[in-house]
Amino acid sequence: MASASDFPASFYGEPGVLGLLANGISAFLVLLQNFHYARTGIPAVGVENILAGVHLILIGGVCQLVAGLLSFRKYDHLSGTSFVGYAALWGSYGATRIFLGANQQSPNLFNESTMTNIMSINVNKTDIPMYINESAIAGLVPYILLSFLLAFCSATVNYIMPFVFGAITLTLIFEAVGLVAKWALVVSGILELLILLFAIYGSSALLIKGLAQRYVLKGFGNPLFNVLLLGTTNASSSQSLGQEKKKNTKYAEPMALGLFCDTVSPFIFAFYAFGYFPSIPVAAIWITINSAAQLLSSYYAYLRQDCYHATKFGLHCVFWLVKTWEEYVVSVTIGRTEAGEVRHAMVGNWFFLSAALVFCVASLNKDTLELVHNSFFVLVTISTISQIPIDRYYIFFGVTCSLFTLLSFYGTFARLINTIAEKSLIPVGPQPVSTESLQKYLSYLKRSKLDEPEDKGAQLPNALFYLCNGVAALSAIHSSQPGLAFFDLTVPWVLIPGAIIQAYVSRLQVQGGQRFGSVIPSFYVAIWATWSWFRFAGHRLQISTESANGFAAGAIAFLVINAFLILVATYGNLVLLALTIVMEVIIVCFLLSTFSRLPYQLEVAMLAIFAIICLYGMLASLVNAIFSKTLIPVGPSLIKDKKKKESETKYPCSIAKSRETSGLLQIAKLLESNGVCGIPTDTVYALAASCKNPSAIEKIYTIKDRPAEKPICICISNVEQLVAAKPPFSPLLWEFMRNVYPGGISCIVPKGEWLLKLGVGPAYDRVGTRESIMIRVPDHTATAHLCEFTGPLAITSANPSGEADSTHHDMVINRLGHKIDGVLCDGESNEAVGSTVVNCLKIDEGTISILREGCVPALKVRQIFERVKSNML
């Protein structure tokens, strides 16, 4: 297997140190201001608040965000969710401080009356009510609830984090009270001091642990209580959960973070809708930063190849951002009364409703909680559609947001606990429709009965691509004389999904290896941004006739580029081809609008057709990616040359497919013939040689430039092979191995003559050390079958020594193909790092040691060992 130096440094780093210190220092900054105000009676104003806000954003926001992102890569569900969530909190609080400082009077004119006015800040330099305090309270309350939830969940992991998160919970309570009562700031300051002390101790404990490779200071490694005490496994719901969890363990699960964000945004909207603060500019900052965190949950779902959650959280992010900045325009420019009349001409909400219904269908094979959550989101979208005759628009919107908040809060708790325990302890309900039944129903839409496999990685961003373009297109529909207020309200509806979020989709397309890369989404970013600029914001930007001529020239360039994309789309599918063709007509309409000759009926028809195509494309891409097969047709490519090009490709070694028996037999034959081959495992790709051929094992050292003193482990298909060899293992070691095999854990055990019975034979002196041998039993079907054909294999990571692991068969071919005999191709690997190595030589003394923390966290390994020991008593 790979050596420690082969793994990314971020995996071995402890991001909890950075996250805890960021929380502690941020609390300390607020503490200084609170104590100064309590002692002098003079609150921080102006530049003081601006500087404090900048520091909170940089330390509590950015630094903690980095800790959260690293925690997700470390497969730490709780820390990833907590640190990204608190990054959003401190970033929002810092932005509020900046907003407060920028709208305050000069600090040179203070007296008791002016201090009272400053603490209630309701007027800024443009005479627009800001309601800063009310907005901050509305933002702090959901974080208080979520901090309490995080404190409770962290008690199932260790007994330092509960005190940190608990102190943060109480601090937020008194910070909120302190906005209206001075005395609460003193209590908040004391609690912030506790946060600092807990953070220093916790970060010290983690830092020393990283240096000593063991826990020296108390607090980590042992939970306050066992998470299994919260309930028993719900067998009816574990099935659907297991489908996604089985194939995605490379990054921590982002579902709790996405639901975390779905708790904050609707909660703030509920306060706004019920009239607690009738102006949203400050609250818009909180929702925007929270939506950015939700976009991160979408990104990590994408990295886990989870198209469903990547698209769902992207949809919710777009919805909250669009509604936020629509209400910002209402608050700043036109007012609620006029907005009610203007909204009757806006139809973009209907696409959100349609997309929400699509997710209700897509969640039928998930759990009941997921289906109910999507159904409540449907209610939220319905509450925003002005064409539906509902009295008291904002009251209905506030009620639906409140219900959606409660369900999202429960979902956050359930997902966090269930991912920590890796069991369904908190009820989420059974699967409404079996996967087989749903596939059968959806397959009726397909004429061909053949199940054509899809390239799932290439399909992942497509649903979000169609979503963004559909919302933008439908929102751009308007009559010949819509009025300036309509233009103002429409800007966020077109600009945010069509340009801003689609730029994120473009980034995903690059990483996903699409044939067209990010060309189409990047080009459409430019189109919708230009459309918003000229068609809807033109009156604000005072675009002259000369400028309109410039836009005409740009439209002609768009026509030429899109014509090229039509040709490119012929290599894709009919849906994409139809989309680009309709976009060509839409660009023609845009060109005519620059000459004031726009045929409105044609533009409306084309935008509507474009939106319908996007809705169908979203449904098809989402369903086909979820099930990894074509259930909803998107049409064939008009130009097919992929197979021809593949047949002409010259590889430096033999290539075989893992899903074909002939491929396994081909690699087995090469291994039997003294060959070295690249093979997939349940972690990363490995180089393999048969234990029947010691000279082949020696080749591995030459191929990798691997130091001779580093031993090589053996790989077998199942534990029963070990049982047949009858090694003299203790009952405790047998039970431990049965609990960790097959999987991403490698056990180092005593070496002995039993290896000859296992089939190691001539390679006895070439594998392991003199006293010990490391054994791998991968949880990978192809690898297990290969070992059944060949017997035990000697394996190590398929990378040049000192370089990163190979996570795709293309990496093995490109880096080592000219040195090896063959590669068993299985696509992208299940993990980004190798297995966790456990030294079991002293297991009979009641101890094990983690020599290398890999894809399975060390904490989980120790929990398994403690459970096995307790069961053996």
Residues 472-489 have pLDDT tens digits of 999 999 877 778 888 889
Q: pLDDT tens, 232-271?
A: 555 444 333 333 333 445 678 899 999 999 999 999 999 9
Are residue 187 and residue 46 in the same domain, yes or no? yes
pLDDT above 90: residue 511: no
**Together in a domain, 559 and 698:** no
Q: What per-residue confidence (pLDDT) applies to 193?
A: 93
- At residue 66, φ and ψ (nearest 5 deg) are -60, -45
Percent of the chain whose predicted confidence (pLDDT) is above 90: 47
Q: Report yes or no on 545 lying in a domain.
A: yes
Question: Which residue would you say has higher pLDDT here, 357 or 3?
Answer: 357
Does some domain include residue 109?
Answer: yes
- C-alpha separations of 684 from 6, 7, 745, 812 in Å: 12, 11, 13, 10
Asked, for residue 841, whether it belongs to a domain, the answer is yes
d(CA 840, CA 744): 15
Q: Residues 283-305: pLDDT tens digits?
A: 999 999 999 999 999 999 988 87
Q: Assess whether pLDDT exceeds 50 at residue 90.
A: yes
Question: Is the pLDDT score of 134 beyond 60?
Answer: yes
Average per-residue pLDDT for the chain: 84
Output the CA–CA distances (angstroms, integers) from residue 407 to 266, 278, 401, 403, 794, in the order listed: 11, 25, 10, 6, 51
* Same domain? 840 vs 798: yes
Q: For position 736, what pLDDT does the model report?
A: 93
Q: How confident is the model at residue 349 (pLDDT cuts 50, 70, 90)?
A: very high
Preceding amide of 742 cis, omega within 30: yes
Judgement on whether residues 709 and 637 belong to the same structural domain of the protein:
no
Percent of the residues in the chain that have a pLDDT greater than 70, as a whole number: 87
- Helix (H/G/I), strand (E/B), else coil: 853: coil
> What is the band of 649 on the pLDDT scale with cuts at 50, 70, 90?
low
Residues 716 and 631 in one domain: no
Select from 204, 224, 244 the last residue of a domain.
224
- Between 482 and 143, the more confident residue is 143
Is the predicted pLDDT of residue 81 greater than 70, yes or no?
yes
Question: Do 623 and 489 sit in the same domain of this protein?
Answer: yes
Which residues, including other chains, have CB under 8 Å from residue 749's CB and lie 6 or more apart?
727, 729, 733, 772, 773, 774, 775, 840, 841
pLDDT tier for residue 119 given thresholds of 50, 70 and 90: very low
User: Which band of pLDDT confidence, cut at 50, 70 and 90, is reported for residue 87?
Assistant: very high
Note whether residue 648 is domain-resident: no
As for how many domains the chain has, the answer is: 3
- Which residues, in sequence order, are bridge partners of residue 824? 656
| pLDDT level of residue 544 (50, 70, 90 thresholds) | low
Which of 615, 642, 669 delimits the end of a domain? 642
Higher-pLDDT residue of 658, 43: 658
Q: Mark whether 545 and 660 lie in a shared domain.
A: no
Residue 109, pLDDT > 80, answer: no
Q: 509 near 516, Cβ under 8 Å?
A: yes
Q: Do both 631 and 755 map to the same domain?
A: no
Q: Is residue 574 part of a domain?
A: yes
Instruction: Say yes or no: 667 and 790 in one domain.
Output: yes
**pLDDT score for 227:** 63
Alpha helices (H) along 422-496: 435-442, 456-459, 462-475, 484-495
Q: Is 672 part of a structural domain of the chain? A: yes
Same domain, 56 and 186: yes
From 612, 642, 672, the end of a domain falls on 642
Flag whether 388 is in a domain: no
> What do you get for the CA distance between the two ends of the chain, in Å?
34
Give the per-residue pLDDT at 141: 94
Question: Mean per-residue pLDDT for 60-88?
Answer: 91
- For residue 458, pLDDT over 50 is answered with no
The rounded distance, in Å, linking the Cα atoms of 337 and 345 is 15
587: which residues sit within 8 A by CB, 6+ positions away?
527, 555, 558, 559, 562
Q: Which residue range(s) make up the domain with 853?
A: 654-872
- Whether 28 maps to a domain, the answer reads yes
Q: Are residues 196 and 73 located together in one domain of the fold? A: yes
H/E segment holding residue 734: helix 731-740
Q: Give the residue-averaged pLDDT of 395-414.
A: 94
Q: What is the pLDDT of residues 765-807, one digit of tens each?
A: 889 998 999 999 999 999 999 999 999 999 999 988 878 888 8
